[in-house]
Structure 1
Amino acid sequence: MSFYEPTPLALKPVSATLLLLAASAPSPAQAQKPSSDTEAVKNVITTFFDGMRRGDSTMVRRTLAPAAVFHGFGGKPGQTPTLEVESINGFLKAVGTPHAQVWDERVEFERVLIDANLASVWAPYEFYLGSKFSHCGYDSFQLVKLADGWKIAHVIDTRRKEKCK
């Protein structure tokens, strides 16, 4: 015999609470289904790199917020890494200037975090010049949701030639 035998009345609040919690918990299908904002954020980044691959600076520019900022973090092996501010206009000019090899940055979306109109994306990448591996690292994107949709406000990346993935 137990020391406590709940009465039917004592069970009702607990049972109702458990039932309510179970009903409000996301099902496995819901928990894995990305939100439309998550997909929109990924699409902006994918469009950015598609534009880069095509050498289409207009396509790339459309993904950027006004006053967007690019940083690169890296350096030569054996030297202290440095933080470099990259010129957006210089980058766009370089993208749009014909070059012999396709600039192919292949990203994976490891993490997409969104709160209201701010998104943060953590994405490992490998960069190829044509079919030749150049370097790898991680891209960190900050996006903002403006009147015309999600735009890239900040990108910072690491760059190295070894220890990729």
Structure 2
Amino acid sequence: MRNTLFSLLMLFGFSGQAQNIEVQKTIETFFEGFHAKDTVKIKSICSEKLILQSISESPKGNKFSEESPKEFYVSMATIPAEVKFEEKILSYNIQVDGTMAHAWTPYEFYINGKLSHKGVNAFTLFKEANGWKIVHLIDTRRK
């Protein structure tokens, strides 16, 4: 009985850990495409119904904005080649419940090697037959 219980706990623990790894890999793929300005790669792990939102915080006031996936992909594709940017993910806090996952990822954003802003990303993902898809991304941005 004790061995069976231990085996079940190990199975569920590893299953949960595997799910977290899959979610993290999906987000890492998003950022690989993001840094390479590769909209095809980004689209491969995003839902067609993707929702993109941002909260900018500043002493002058806070601003909530939304961007359509089309606007996002066009903006990515039109960034000049000489502009280098990097979003450094500082950690991952992932929670999974069946076919839904949420990832909280604090970050720092650099443009041409200089810190531009920082904040946190909140990803919501849905597990489709062919893997995890990002359905919602909201981030905070502060100088």
> TM (normalized to structure 1)?
0.75
Q: Secondary structure at the match of 1:85?
A: strand
Query: 2:107 matched to 1:125?
Result: yes
In the superposition, relative to structure 1, how do residues 46 and 74 fare at CA in structure 2: closer, same or farther (>3 Å)?
Answer: same
Name the residue aligned to 2:67: 86
Tell me the equivalent position of 1:54.
36
Compute the displacement of 1:26 (Å).
Answer: 5.2
- Unaligned runs of 5+ residues in structure 2 are none
Could you say which structure has the larger radius of gyration? 1
Where does structure 1 differ by over 4 angstroms across 4 or more consecutive aligned residues? 22-27, 30-34
By relative contact order (CA 8 Å, sep 6+), the higher-ranking structure is: 2
Amino acid aligned to 2:35: R
Q: Aligned residues: percent identity?
A: 29
1:12 corresponding residue in structure 2: none
In terms of fraction of residues, the more strand-rich structure is 2
**Residue in 2 aligned with 1:141?**
123
Q: How much has 1:31 moved relative to structure 2?
A: 5.9
Q: Unpaired runs of 5+ in structure 1? A: 1-15
What root-mean-square deviation, in Å, do the aligned CA atoms of Structure 1 and Structure 2 show? 2.4
2:16 is equivalent to residue 37 of structure 1: no
CA contact (8 A) 2:95 2:103 kept: yes
Change (3 A) 1:34 1:128: farther
The verdict on how the C-alpha distance between 1:87 and 1:23 changes in structure 2, with shifts beyond 3 A counting, is closer
Q: Is the 8 A contact 2:90 2:108 kept in 1?
A: no
- With normalisation by structure 2, the TM-score equals 0.85
Equivalent residue in structure 1 for 2:88, among 76, 98, 106: 106
